[in-house]
Amino acid sequence: MNTVTPIQESIAGLYESESRRVLATLIRLLGDFDAAEEALHDAFRAALEQWPRDGVPSNPRAWLVSAGRFKAIDAARRRTRFDALEDMGEKAEPVFIDTAAWADDESVEDDRLRLIFTCCHPALAPDAQVALTLREVCGLTTEEIARAFLTPAPTLAQRIVRAKTKIRDARIPYEVPSRAELPERLEAVLRVIYLVFNEGYSASSGEQVTRHDLSAEAIRLGRLLVELLPEPEAQGLLALMLLHDSRRTARTSPDGDLVLLENQDRSLWNRAQIAEGVPLVEQAFSSGRPGPYAIQAAIAAVHAEAAAATATDWNEIVGLYDLLMRTTPSPIIELNRAVAIAMRDGPEAGLTIVDGLLDRGELRDYRLVHAVRGELCRRLGRTADAQVSFERALKLTRQEPERRLIERRLAEVSK
């Protein structure tokens, strides 16, 4: 059996920490995702051969970029020569590679942003944006992504191939959007990250463990984005994910049942994540124009800072929902606001809003509107109404733990 030498170990560590950076730069230099991936692997293979003999270079990342670029040029030359042999009439064209500065820290960090914005380009299909981001930016394997999204691996692989083909053939540029385009393009990036997070957080089906990793991956992506581009909404999204994730252990019982926020054991909340999330909310708000992610994060922060459910500042939460309704009005937000109003002013006030929503024909097939209505009726002692609403909610629910929770409530009001 081979023993792992310290140099091999440090190369493995370097792969963990630097391979995505090196890849991002190689894509810019080579102008092609597939060529860059091949070059990345060639570069690490070269490191495994040469470093034990020659020692670790003083700037390993620059060495890897340079080696990858060299290998790619070499491979292209060999291909050209081979084609030339096939077709003697054609003269082999020299391969031209841009030789501008390519390994200083600033341009390398820009490359990582370029990679994120390219993977999340709105001209790519939404599921392709997600797959490509996890593959290229996070370095997950196709199999890992397929497992987490409960998608067959060949389907997922094809999605990635199609996206790369479009990037090449439609010429999606490898660049950070201009200031004018930034808000819309950033929104697309944030949407991808939040989707990855929710896929792991709500764990609507499938293995809990793999899906949990998706939330961790989304938080890592969020941190990277905030580090590279400290925009208020990027900070808001990271805070929102951290504050939600801080309740992960508390939100399910040992038997896998859902535990509502008010019943959660707050000593189980992850204090480190809360301590990281709350200041981010403050930073996002200090910009003066908090967006929807920052406002939702602020709501989560109010909960995080309440020592007990009864100590929750519902007035503050209602105010934040009012703000959210002004920036991005939607029936779902109105429903959440109704819950906050019910907590502040009593169930009757909340029920009026919920019934108003239903009268307008909004959210009729949304399970939570009926679950909320059932709960508010239950608190008002209107058990017959509660029963009807819980039954309706139960019909619309597909998630197993949620179904059990509603069944318990239904059993209570049916006694």
Partner 1 sequence: MKYLCLVYLEPDKLHAVPDRECASCGQGLRERGVLVAAEALEPIETATTVRVRNGKLLVTDGPFAETKEQLAGFYLVDAHDLNEAIQIASKIPPAREGSVEVRPVRELNP
Nearer to partner 1, 166 or 191 (CB): 166
User: Among 68, 177, 222, 290, which residue interacts with partner 1 (rule: CB under 8 A)?
Assistant: 177
Which tokens go with 222? 């969020």
Of 46-54, 106-114, 164-172, 372-380, which segment contacts partner 1 by CB under 8 A? 164-172
Write the single-letter amino acid at 375: E
Q: Is 290 one of the binding residues for partner 1 (CB under 8 A)? A: no
CA 90, 75, 29: angle at the middle one, nearest 5?
105
Judged by CB under 8 A, the residue of 134, 172, 317, 340 near partner 1 is: 172
Q: Which of 54, 87, 169, 255 binds partner 1 (CB under 8 A)?
A: 169
Distance of alpha carbon 182 from alpha carbon 226, whole angstroms: 14
Closer Cβ to partner 1, 91 or 171, answer by number: 171
Residue 376: closest CA among 342, 413, 415: 342
Which listed residue (170, 268, 332, 411) binds partner 1 by CB under 8 A? 170
Q: Does residue 30 interact with partner 1 by CB under 8 A?
A: no
Pick from 54, 96, 106, 171: which binds partner 1 (CB under 8 A)? Answer: 171
Q: What is the DSSP string of 141-176?
A: -HHHHHHHTT--HHHHHHHHHHHHHHHHHTT---SP
Please report how close the Cβ of residue 60 comes to partner 1 at its closest, in angstroms: 33
Q: What angle do CA 115, 118, 124 make, to 5 degrees?
A: 145
Cβ neighbour number for residue 307 with a 10 Å cutoff: 8
268: tokens are 């189980």
181 is an interface residue for partner 1 by CB under 8 A: yes
CB of 173 to partner 1, least distance (A): 4
> How many C-beta neighbours within 10 Å does residue 200 have?
23
Nearest one of 203, 187, 196 to 219, comparing CA atoms = 196
Any residues with CB less than 8 A from the CB of 415 and at least 6 apart, and which? Answer: none
164: left (phi over 0), alpha (psi -120 to 50) or beta: alpha
Which residues, in sequence order, are CB contacts of 404 under 8 Å at separation 6+? 257, 258
Estimate the share of the chain in helix, then strand, then coil, as percent rounded to the nearest 5: 75, 0, 25
Least separation, in Å, of the C-beta of 188 and partner 1? Answer: 13
Q: Nearest distance from residue 36's CB to partner 1, in Å?
A: 18
CA distance 353 to 54: 72
Nearer to partner 1, 175 or 348 (CB): 175
Interface region with partner 1, contact rule CB under 8 A, candidates 34-42, 68-76, 167-175, 360-368: 167-175
**From the CB of 169, what's the least distance to partner 1, in Å?**
6
* Minimum distance from residue 30 beta carbon to partner 1 (Å): 16
Q: Of the ranges 57-65, 154-162, 170-178, 404-412, which one interacts with partner 1 (CB under 8 A)?
A: 170-178
Mark 30-67 as b/e (b = at least 16 C-beta within 10 Å).
Answer: bebbebbbbbbebbbebbeeebeeeebeeebbbbbbbb
When asked if residue 347 is in the footprint of partner 1 (CB under 8 A), the reply is no
Among 13, 152, 154, 173, binds partner 1 (CB under 8 A): 173
Shortest CB 79 distance to partner 1, Å: 17
For residue 122, the minimal CB distance to partner 1 (Å) is 9
The count of C-alpha atoms lying within 13 angstroms of the C-alpha of 158, restricted to the half-sphere facing its C-beta, is 5
Task: Count residues near partner 1 (CB under 8 A).
Answer: 10
Give least dist CB 121 to partner 1, A.
Answer: 8
Say how many residues make up the chain: 415
Report the residue from 12, 48, 95, 123 that binds partner 1 according to the rule CB under 8 A.
123
Which one, 123 or 332, has the nearer CB to partner 1? 123
175 binding partner 1? (CB under 8 A): yes
User: Which residues would be at the binding site for partner 1 (CB under 8 A)?
Assistant: 121, 123, 169-173, 175, 177, 181
